[in-house]
Chain A
Amino acid sequence: MGSMEGILITVRTSKQGAAMEKGKFSEEYRREIASLTLNPDDFARLQLGEEKRALLKSSAGEVEVICRAAEGPQGIFFLPLGAVANELLDEETHGTGVPDFKGIPVRIAAIAQDKEENYDDHS
């Protein structure tokens, strides 16, 4: 099981927008906002378990995410903006009114043992 440091960028996804119409408590929405997209080489290096779960940590907090590989730069991770990503955000805005939603230093580590699904921790 591997781990690595990188930069987190929060995004919006079209799947998130579509799932929102089914409700923010729908399984589809909750799964999408906990889905982290990363480069295929990074994905392989993490040696993720069957459920592709990983722990993502920032200076503000930590969350469990489900990883998926997609074309993109190495060391940059993408997570939809939502209740899961919010745990990783610092409320400091540096006088701009906007917290750092993008460019957040994070550490990701594969979760050794596959767990039961439990999104309630992040709702």
Chain B
Amino acid sequence: MRHLKRYSALAKGLYTPEGRKDRKVVVIDVRPSPTSKNADIFLQVTPGADFEIVHVLRLLIAGKRLEGLEEESLVGGVAFRQWQELAELMKACRYGVVMFGIGLTQSRGKDLNAEELNSLIIELNAFTRFYAVAMRGHGNVNGSNQVLAWQTGYPLAVNFQRGYPRFNPGEFSVVDMLRRKEADAALIIATDPSAHLPQSAVNYLKSIPTIYLEPHENATTTWANVVIPVAPAGIGAGGTFYRMDNIPLQLKKLVDFAVPSDLEALQGIKEEVLRLKRGEAAC
């Protein structure tokens, strides 16, 4: 609700002085939700039809005639007429934003759904100003994407094994690396694999040496070989936080913690590794 209130639906802007009254909110989801109840239009779709729906919207935006589809024909569980109306609404608006999340990227089609949506947005910009914003679940997920992108050119699934970055989701992404049992040790930072990965991937992680930097007690802290408590980022350590719309925000440390920040812990580990590589005695 905070997103609706502060950013997407209720916020007042230079060209939207009336806030919500100046906006049209369309929600596309597989079931009703608090967000859909606040929408002007709610399109309840069948699960797994994302690619088909976005593709039909692209064709409608391009003015293509769709043979065999009548007004009441269903596309993704919704009448074709309603997709026609949505396409017209998107073309006619002054400034449109599609906010999408894992409902799109984790459903059948996955990255292809996101690619199709990007194509739709590019094509809509021939008519009006349109953006797509990826909605992230946890704080500063965008930050790791941003830093990897400006350092390597790739936002995720980057492999440095050969001394230079290589990118290939499905090959160098964490679940695939664990499924193939390629990693023989893991350094885990700012995530809880026990809560996010398939159990078989967690079971493999449990079988290899693991070092875990984490401020809170959770299911992973119970089995990691080495747990290094760290100060919570943005509270016990300052730094840059990337908002979901890619705006970097500087966060100051609020309180002192008796434990190091992620940065300090990693620097300490790196210095010790370099010392050992030089053949010096460990501190």
Q: Is B102's CB under 8 angstroms from A101's CB?
A: yes
- Is B217 located at the chain interface by the 8 A CB criterion? yes
- Is B20 located at the chain interface by the 8 A CB criterion? no
Q: Is B192's CB under 8 angstroms from A24's CB?
A: yes
Least CB distance, A68 to chain B, in whole angstroms:
14
- Is A40 located at the chain interface by the 8 A CB criterion? no
A interface: dominant SS? loop
**B residues in contact with A78, CB < 8 Å:** 31
- Is B201 located at the chain interface by the 8 A CB criterion? yes
Q: Is B31's CB under 8 angstroms from A76's CB?
A: yes
- Is B227 located at the chain interface by the 8 A CB criterion? no
**A residues in contact with B137, CB < 8 Å:** 12
* Bound CA span A81–B48, Å: 18
| Chain A, interface residues (CB within 8 Å), range | 35 or more
* Bound CA span A90–B178, Å: 12
Which residues of B are interface residues toward A (Cβ below 8 A)?
Answer: 30-32, 44, 46-48, 102-103, 105-108, 110-111, 137, 156-157, 169-171, 173-176, 178-179, 192, 194-202, 216-219, 222
Other than the given A86-B197, A94-B110, A97-B173, 15 more pairs (CB < 8 A) read A23-B218, A24-B192, A60-B199, A60-B200, A71-B31, A71-B32, A72-B30, A76-B31, A86-B202, A93-B176, A93-B179, A95-B170, A96-B169, A97-B176, A102-B108
